Amino acid sequence: MNDLEPVATEPDKDAGLDTSGLNRHSASTKCPPFRGEPTPDSNPDWNSTDTRPSTEPTSSNTHRDSWNSLDTLSISNSSDGKPGDSELDRRFMMFYFDHFFPFLFPFYKPLLLEGGRSWIIELVVGNQAMWHTTLCLSTYFVSVSLDGAISGHNVCKTLAWEKLLKQMGVTFMMLQRNLQEAAPSNTQDLIVKTSRIMGSIIQLQRFEISVGNFENCQKHLGAAIALFKQIIQAAENVTDRGELPTFHGVLSHMGRPLWAITSQPSGAWSSDQAAFRFYSALLIVDDIIASTCMEEPPRLLEYHAQLLTNDRSPNERPPLNLEDFIGCENWVMLQIGEIAALDTWKKSMKKAGQLDMMELVARASAIKQALLGNLARLDAAANTPKTNSLGLFTLYNDQLPPMPGGCTAFVTRVWAHAALLYLSVMVSGWQPGSGGIRENVVRTLALLEQMPAPELLRTMVWPFCMVGCLAAPGEECRFLAMADALVPHRLFGAARKALEIMQNVWKRRNELTIDTDFAACVCSLGYMSLLV
């Protein structure tokens, strides 16, 4: 039962990715063609919608003339579409590598022995779709940084959006072309090309979330998941064993590592291997978080054990260690996925009149014990110093503030307490005043207020929203203060969206019933917001 009806607000307009072979959703509206650019709208399998939020100013010829005279932030569009033809484009790209990427992913610091982050440059320079998408990101980031810092900043803001929209149009065309080229390829080429397209979609998704556009989250996520499954299927066809190929086996079809070290389980990943690992980790997380809002189990649930655990060799790291990518340890994400799957089971059984509450409580208790046990382990290890290979370089490459136990332990702890809240609501319903929920709300809120830097909140948006929706009236101002500390607001789209969801819940607090759940809260704005 959804007690939170969609509010009558002007919906955000954003870019949508749609391919007939991936998913069948279509955008509700189409925008006029991008001026001066061919558009994907000419192909019925693709759809493009305006990415400009309703708060952005509209363009005009006067603004365009002023922009050209300013010559401050214009980005050249080469006629042949080749990346790197403009020196200014290359400077924007380095701005992305040096500043925006670390801003978006502060925990991603791969070891030098694994090849570092050089794959980002290799992949972007060698792939036109990635180049144009990345140029979009950098254009937006610079426009926000310069907003108000120079004369005529409103003009800069307007024209930065125009340039951004044109780059988005190019990106859609490149992705369409790449999909067509990948189809007739041999197995290795198919896996490599498909993984690059998947990465482009996820990067585009992250861009949209960073600017606060969420209406096409499901479409982009569905496309990326479909491509991920195609990659696994292609690798499975080669192994021909009738079972899922190992993640390392999939990576092996993308080429050989740049080098190998005897004492290390893996060598330096090639650019395609490193990119696939990175975007697969983000996709796993996005899928899990989306499942909490869509009342369905994670669509990649069958891959969780293989990718996020290492039961066969407990002393070795799992193929994907999410702590290295998003700052949260695997066990929390695994349990959130299990809660979402259990929630789906509960609702289907209840609808069929077959719900066994004892079985529900037993399965929920196992999840709770896993969360509490790992939290206790985390607390016990809080003062244990960590060693890191080639730690010398962290002195020059660590943008995270120092804190006892490390930032990843702090972030993991916040996620775990939010997972306990999610579990309580799933089992017992919407009871913000109950003892168990109040205890976890107070504890999680206290943790969030201990953040060593406000910007760290961008890595904990889902927990922030979860605890905020269950907050007491007297605690609302504390959540507002945390959101207001994130400046400029235009670079924290997900956190601002989480605050908007909370405020909608607070406004209707007295109307909510025990049947309300977190999915109803998130979708109360009329669409699913991917809070990552």
Split at pLDDT 50, 70, 90, the class of 140 is: confident
Identity of residue 511:
E
What average pLDDT does range 94-108 have in this prediction?
88
- Please provide residue 268's backbone torsions phi and psi, each rounded to the nearest 5 degrees: -85, 115
pLDDT at 69 over 50: no
Split at pLDDT 50, 70, 90, the class of 172 is: low
pLDDT at 169: 63
Render pLDDT for 260-311 as a digit per residue (tens, 0 to 9). Answer: 655 555 567 888 899 999 999 999 999 999 999 988 999 999 999 999 998 6
> What is the pTM for the complete model shown?
0.82
Split at pLDDT 50, 70, 90, the class of 177 is: confident
Tell me which long-range contacts 52-61 makes (C-beta under 8 A, separation of at least 24).
52/13, 52/161, 52/165, 53/12, 53/13, 53/14, 53/211, 53/212, 53/213, 54/10, 54/12, 54/13, 56/157, 56/158, 56/161, 57/154, 57/157, 57/158, 58/158, 59/158, 59/159, 59/161, 59/162, 60/158
What average pLDDT does range 350-379 have in this prediction?
95
Neighbours of 39 (CB within 10 A): 17
What average pLDDT does range 86-106 have in this prediction?
85
Structure tokens at 185: 């390829």
